[in-house]
Amino acid sequence: MSLHVFWFLPTHGDGRYLGSTQQARAVDQTYLQQIAQAAERLGYGGVLVPTGRSCEDSWVIASNLAAVTRTLKFLVALRPTTFSVTANARMAATLDRLSAGRLLINVVAGGDAGDLEADGTFLSHDARYEHAREFLTVWKGLLAGETVDFDGEHIKVKGARQLFPPLQQPHPPLYFGGSSPAAHDLAAEQVELYISWGERPEDVAAKFADLRARAAAKGRTVRFGVRLHVIVRETEPEAWAAADRLISELDDETVARAQAALARLDSEGQQRMSALHGGQRDKLEISPNLWAGVGLVRGGAGTALVGNPQQVADRLKEYAALGADTFVLSGYPHLEEAYRFAELVFPLLPVAVQEKVGATLLSPFGEAIADGAVPRLKVAQS
């Protein structure tokens, strides 16, 4: 099975240390373009563009970077409660056509209730998923070319039409993550690919099994993926040293404050992430090479695979054996780690490498004094 590997655009900022402004990198056009073009050049299938009030707008970012890339796909986060369904259908169709079919949608129905309330959404946890179900029902109908009349509890439209179709038919693929029963029901009914955050393999297996059963009951099948951070180095000691450095600027007060804020969320997925470490620094390796240190202060995906290239590849293959064919990865800083992972781990995986952008490739050669070697022409390999 070929694996699809995506990278991440840090639209909330980037750096070498979590929870610290030391050596932090601000978000700007140049840096995000560097990451996107590096991901494309390295052969990643696409990039995840996150959403939330701490991030630059995902749709504007994707539109901007689609113009400076050629093959890279954009997994754009969509919060249904923050959009008119008809307006977003037009946005999706336009971006899909103008990017030559490179749009993917990451549906974000849950998350931080305070964040959602700041955007004007005052719905209970399960009601947000009911809203998303209605939204996607109308959205998919519009992009399929239907004239839609819909009278739901949350969404009502009459005579709605989408005159300009998306390039991908019947609609750009829908990705989704969530751990609650309401989330699993929505995924089983509406989406093409379900993404789990990086929990222990046995826990991910249980989630995938539940989704398979729910989807089968509706006469559907769903693909699977896993969202993880990665810290890969040529040797295992180097990788663990890098993990320790990543959280070396965190003091106990910062961790406690972050954990208290995360505990107030009604997200079951976030509760599962926090339970992996309990806010304790001495309990961070929760499974072989699976490290929960990122989740000490970061909401959402909070685990990283840490190790040498073979170890990281083996852990990814374990998830693949459970049914995951897609991995959405990230690492700090995102530009450098994109190179490390691609150069060290891609050769060890059956990766579906995208067509690499570039003209004639030259073989790499090491510069040395009195070395008369010249780079040879070679055929691009995936």
pLDDT in tens, 192-201: 999 999 999 9
Over range 141-161, report the average pLDDT: 98
CA 360 to chain centre: 31
Q: How far apart are CA 358 and CA 345, in angstroms?
A: 21
pLDDT at 274: 83
Main-chain phi, psi angles of 133, to 5 degrees: -60, -45
Q: How far apart are CA 261 and CA 17, in angstroms?
A: 20
Report the relative pairing of strands 290-291 and 377-378 from DSSP bridges: unpaired
Pick from 57-66, 90-99, 273-282, 344-353: least confident: 273-282
pLDDT at 360: 46
Over range 354-361, report the average pLDDT: 53
Residues 6+ apart with CB under 8 A from 97: 164, 165, 166, 167
Over range 254-259, report the average pLDDT: 85
Q: How far apart are CA 242 and CA 230, in angstroms?
A: 11
Over range 274-287, report the average pLDDT: 88
pLDDT at 382: 39
The structure tokens 């099948």 sit at 221
* The model's pTM: 0.92
Q: How far apart are CA 270 and CA 58, in angstroms?
A: 21
Kindly tell me if the per-residue pLDDT of 362 is higher than 70: no
pLDDT at 259: 83
Main-chain phi, psi angles of 228, to 5 degrees: -145, 155
Kindly tell me if the per-residue pLDDT of 365 is higher than 70: no
Per-domain residue ranges of the chain:
4-378
- Nearest CA-CA partner of 263 in 364, 144, 150, 112: 112
Q: Which CATH number fits domain 4-378: 3.20.20.30, 3.40.50.1980, 3.40.50.720, 3.30.950.10?
A: 3.20.20.30
CB-CB neighbours of 294 under 10 Å: 26
Predicted confidence band at 379 (pLDDT cuts at 50, 70, 90)? very low
Q: How confident is the prediction for the chain on average, in pLDDT? A: 92
pLDDT in tens, 174-185: 999 999 999 999
pLDDT at 258: 84
- Whether residue 171 contacts residue 92, with contact meaning beta carbons closer than 8 Å, is answered with yes
Over range 38-47, report the average pLDDT: 97
